[in-house]
Amino acid sequence: MDTAAIEGRWDPAFDRLAECFADLVAQDGERGAVAVRGPGGMLVDIRGGAIHPGRPGQWARDTLVCCFSVTKGVCSLVAHVLIDRGLLDPDWPVARLWPEFAHAGKEAITVLDVLTHRAGLPAVDGPVARGDLYDAGLMARHLSASAPVVPPRAAPVYHNMTYGHLVGEILCRATGHGSLRDVLRATLTGPLDADFRIGLTPDEQRRCASLEQDDPHSLFALLERQPDTLFARSMAFFAPDKDFNTVRWRAAQIGSGSGHATAAAIATLFGQFVFEGGLLSASRRAALRRQRTASEGDDPVMGIPIRYGEGVELSGPPALDFGPNPDTPGHWGAGGATGFADPQAQIAFGYVTGRMASGFGSSERARRLVAALHMCL
């Protein structure tokens, strides 16, 4: 077994996973990190490749990189902690905490509807400007003012960029904190000492790896070619030509996708969905991973089938590959980033990459790592 291309530590039971990751780094240009956590602690924490392509410096234990929609799962975890504490209830109308939301036919939409992508707001019905995504207050006003753009409380439609602002506003109002960053730090990342960040400070930005895309122009070219699709409307809030390496992106508090993390932090956080003795009660752990709804065929935004628990995706290989257990909650992120926790195997997995794969759903590299992981169990 040749693992010379990677650094870190792993339990020998996970040699096959370490070898798979080393092969990806050595032969496929991977740059990133993988972690596996059990109830008793970290079992795998490995990394490899350059922090910045073509420049000196190897991926370090504390290197941060954007994990995109894995951020949604982390925000959902906060919601479940607050439900356990009695500060939030899945059956509450959103307007109970956020009165301005009770507008244009949205009075009955519940917290659970938001968590299961059934709020009817994958986009908004009014005009928006490129870059509005970065202003949480403005996004909350857009969402308050909008009527649903797809039928609410019906089949789920992936709330691509609106999910984080919907959940973020609910979390801030439930806790009294002024920002999503403050909510996360007080509720999750501080108590768990997890190196997951949103709204990065200059010091945190200095630890960030550069992202590279196979085709940096493909996403926004698609939006220009198909401006009336639901996917394009869900992306209308973006600044154009975003490469995700800017100070503005890293400093933004976008609960749908601007979280930056280590793989170990993702494994630690997603482990809370299944581990006893963590932040969640047994009843909440069971409730959140029970399938609540599923897309009717392919999701109209992502173009892949998606099954939902409460604020989490459920494993559905090959599109969303969190392993063979269909009850495994997790979340995929653009480019291939992945977090999940298998309640049967009692392991949590985190994967981050600086080399973004194209397409939606689990990347080929992520699927290879998940397959290697399950060969070790």
Written in H, E and C, the secondary structure of 11-40 is CHHHHHHHHHHHHHHHHHCCCEEEEEEECC
| Strand-pair partners of 294 | 307
Per residue in 90-130, pLDDT (tens digit) is 999 999 999 999 989 999 999 999 999 999 999 999 999 98
Per residue in 174-207, pLDDT (tens digit) is 999 999 999 999 999 999 999 999 999 999 999 9
Please report which confidence band the pLDDT of residue 231 belongs to, taking 50, 70 and 90 as the band edges: confident
Query: Domains in the chain, ordered, with CATH?
Result: 6-375 (3.40.710.10)
Are the beta carbons of 288 and 80 closer than 8 angstroms? yes
Q: According to the model, what pLDDT value does residue 2 have?
A: 78
Residue 238 has pLDDT above 90, yes or no: no
